[in-house]
Structure 1
Amino acid sequence: MASSIGLSSWKLALIDPMTNLVIPTEKGGLPTTDSKYNGVFIANLLTSRGATTANLSGMDGAIQKIYGSDAVADVSVGNPEPTVALAANSLPHEVQALVQGLTKISESGSYRKQAGSRLPYVALMTDSHDWDGNRIHFGFFMGVMALANANQATNNNQQQRATDSYTYTAIASDAGDPYEVLWEAENGYDYDKFAHHIFPQTAADVIQPSDQAEGSHPVANVKPDAGVGGTGNK
């Protein structure tokens, strides 16, 4: 995989679990940053004083060795369990309240975390670039965001600043897929189609189950060595 340099932004949208579509701003979704994508909020310099972190982990499943005849005979690969550590310098409080599923208290203007409340479903895209300046996008169809920390500390001779930090935990879409990645170094790439996969605005944008994605390469059926005097791969 091409190395990534920097972090230009990350994008969020609330997802309706009944339709798998982005919830529009006017129906309780996140503030719209780009008019082409209703309900999609972009954490960048303009909106959040800069996105600072998007650390991705668990992108492939855990590998378990399977032994036989005193050797590693095969491996079992689990399902991917992606998580993303997200942070921005100053994420708007309205966005934080929505992704946490907080309830606004009208008489005080405060937001309450209610016992037993469920976290809203969120789609996520991260934006970086490679050595040659080509952008790299990781997109997660559905997941939840949990407040990682809310550190507060006294100032001294320097300001003590804390970023707004969240942990995003991806879950599988209805198609069974946890994420999609777009390298703009790829010939014929189409960012808009990719973005509509991650942030579907209409039913036609929602990815559908398939036995095998177009362009994938299944592992060939390779026969193991038959042993001493064996014929090997034939």
Structure 2
Amino acid sequence: MSRNHAVLTALAFLASVLLPAAASAKDSSYGFDTDRDRFGWAIMSGGNSTTSDVEDQEALDKLKEEYGGDDFLFLREGDDRYVIRDRALIERAQRAVKPVNEAGRELGEAVSEQVHLALGTSKDARERARLGRSIGRLSREIARAARRGDDTEDLERDRDKLQRQLDDMEESSRDQRVTVREKTKTKTRSEEASRHLKQATHHLQDTMHDILHDAKARHLAEPMR
């Protein structure tokens, strides 16, 4: 495998982390909800939408036609669906989404760095690059699982196992290019990014619940018929 090809592979992975798999140029979908059958949400702003899942797409399409280009917040709680058009509540929801996007970007950058550090010029470079990509794939799965609120313990265990294999190969290689300090720093950065993503996801979920509760209390949540 050439260095250029490996670098392109790393960049392709980074893009897959930063851009949701189901996203289009103007819409993005994230699996943030821990109970997707009970609670879901979508923010429509400036013609672009950010959603917790794609299950409510039919209802969203109907709302887009009804409200035209107006901004709104859609919330689903069980079988009940609500529309919120209060600007302050919409902006509150948007602020809660930003840390999740930033944490995802942070994780993507950390994993990309791990992939690049796995590259080398020795006879073991190909295997190290393969392990680096596998670590990257597992990190992507961990990020997706965290966004859904799923348990990531097994995935993290598999990733750590591959990381130990990669560490062993690098330590035994005569032309090792990555110092222990660099490896530790990169691994720590990736672990911190994973924690940030989980924290941001939980905060987002709590915020959306609070927004719905607040909107109901102030009669700002319009029930969908």
Task: Flag the structure with more relative contact order, 1 or 2, with Cα contacts below 8 A and sequence separation at least 6.
Answer: 2
More helix by share: 2
More strand by share: 1
Common topology (TM > 0.5): no
TM-score normalised to structure 1 length: 0.27
Structure number with bigger Rg: 1
